Amino acid sequence: MTPPAARGASRIRPDHPERLGTRALNRALLARQSLLERSAASPLAMIEQLVGLQAQAPNPPYLGLWARLREFALDDLTQAMRARRIVRATMMRGTLHLVSADDYRALRPVLQPVLQRLSLQSAHAKALRGVALGELRKAGIDALQAGALSATALGEALRARWPSHDTAELAKLVRSIELLVHVPPAGVWDSHQAATFAVAHDWLGAPVAEDADENAADAMLLRYLAAFGPASARDASAWSGLTGTRERLQRLRPRLRVFVDEAGTELFDLPDAPRPAPETAAPVRLLPEFDNVLLAHRDRSRIFDDGLRGAIFTRNGLVAATVLIDGFVAGVWKLQRERDTATVVVETFKRPRAADRVALQHEAEHCLRVAAPGYSRHEVRLSVVGA
């Protein structure tokens, strides 16, 4: 849906757009992500505010909500997933996200063309030789409508139709193209169960369209700006995986505020969205692996220095849990649990100020109370990388 700030906005087209520095963009991002001040929102409302949470692994979305909400317990999210108010599914960029049931129905049709294109360009598509895509999709849906299936079971169901094909690869195509959701307990806290898949309209009890109109795509882009702006057309494409964002932003331009960054790149934003002063204080935060703020822009200098990329992103596609000090990535951290002891291990890239060290200690202790309540011992270890 279109954010309130974008409805009926005045036509603002300055001849000389205001220039926003890196700190101004950082504070705008943190404000919209509820990382300047924790929010009183519910997990469902926060996930909608963020237009989904990255969910490649089960636990990071829980920690992402903990970092943003004043009151949060692990079971709050688990129960919302079991109640089908929040679902785990393939969404932006073809990656797993948690989204609200309403947002799945609103956003997935917009994403469907690019998800199908990405799937048919992948190595899995080689298995399609001699198989009509329409027949494969129908066979996959027929199998899944009999009940949720694991990836292996879906492949076996397809084998009866195409015994000479690599049905595991065919199943991957079905999973990436069809409108499916992951069925709990897959995706809930500490779950190690392989995903099982259900047809979205069966799971949600409501139809999900495969096609979206231009208004739906515009609304999705405006919501991106509300959560991550000010942002460029390339930023919006990097977040969504969609093409044509530059043309769409130009068409929406009369409803938007336009800025430029320090390199002169044009940035778009909702007129009334929060843009705190660059000197606004930013508290220490511990963000989980794959956090949205690290992945939602083409130019990520508003949240970390490019020289740190190797410490944050691994060659096998993992994204480290990160420490924010003064709003920028300043280290990495892990939650470790063994027997009766849970430990938060924090490694900063340089020695923090005394006040930041105290804040890190408090934030880590808070994390342990929420994420490891059943452990008799809680420990925090703070160190400097290479020291």
DSSP string over 58-91: SSHHHHHHHTTBSS--HHHHHHHHHTTSEEEEE-
Tokens of 363: 């934030």
Alpha helices in 178-213 (DSSP H): 200-204
Q: Which of 28-32, 124-128, 166-170 has the lowest mean pLDDT?
A: 124-128
What is the tens place of the pLDDT at every residue in 134-149? 999 999 999 999 899 9
8 A C-beta contact, residue 334 and residue 59: no
Look-up: residue for tokens 């020695």? 351
- Give Cα 260 distance to the centre of its chain: 25
User: Residue 225 half-sphere exposure, CB side, CA atoms within 13 Å?
Assistant: 33
pLDDT score of 256: 98
Alpha-carbon dihedral 253, 254, 258, 264, rounded to 10 degrees: 50
Closest CA to 110 of 95, 91, 97: 91
pLDDT score of 12: 39
User: Residue 161 half-sphere exposure, CB side, CA atoms within 13 Å?
Assistant: 20
Closest CA to 59 of 228, 194, 186: 186
pLDDT at 92 over 90: yes
| pLDDT, mean of residues 251-266 | 96
Say how many residues make up the chain: 387
| pLDDT, mean of residues 207-217 | 90
| pLDDT, mean of residues 249-253 | 96
Angular region, 205: left φ>0, alpha ψ -120 to 50, beta rest: left
8 A C-beta contact, residue 47 and residue 53: yes
| pLDDT, mean of residues 324-328 | 98
| pLDDT, mean of residues 267-289 | 98
Give the span between the Cα atoms of 356 and 352, in whole angstroms. 6
Q: Which of 78-92, 311-325, 328-342, 369-383 has the lowest mean pLDDT?
A: 311-325
CA 40, 235, 50: angle at the middle one, nearest 5?
15
Report which residue type is found at 54: Q
Residue 15: pLDDT band with limits 50, 70, 90: low
pLDDT score of 201: 95
pLDDT at 219 over 50: yes
> Pairing between strand 285-287 and 322-325?
antiparallel
pLDDT score of 314: 86
pLDDT at 6 over 50: no
pLDDT at 13 over 70: no
More confident residue, 192 or 221: 221
Give the span between the Cα atoms of 170 and 61, in whole angstroms. 29
Look-up: residue for tokens 């970390």? 304
Share of the chain above pLDDT 90, in %: 84
pLDDT score of 193: 86
Report which residue type is found at 174: V
Residue 9: pLDDT band with limits 50, 70, 90: very low
User: Residue 309 half-sphere exposure, CB side, CA atoms within 13 Å?
Assistant: 8
Q: Which of 9-18, 108-117, 200-209, 344-353 has the lowest mean pLDDT?
A: 9-18
| pLDDT, mean of residues 16-34 | 96
pLDDT at 2 over 80: no
| pLDDT, mean of residues 231-242 | 96
- Give Cα 141 distance to the centre of its chain: 27
pLDDT at 7 over 60: no
3-state secondary structure of 319: strand
pLDDT score of 121: 85
pLDDT score of 11: 39
3-state secondary structure of 53: strand
8 A C-beta contact, residue 99 and residue 93: no
CA torsion through residues 344, 347, 351, 355, sign: negative
Q: Which of 191-205, 320-334, 358-372 has the lowest mean pLDDT?
A: 191-205
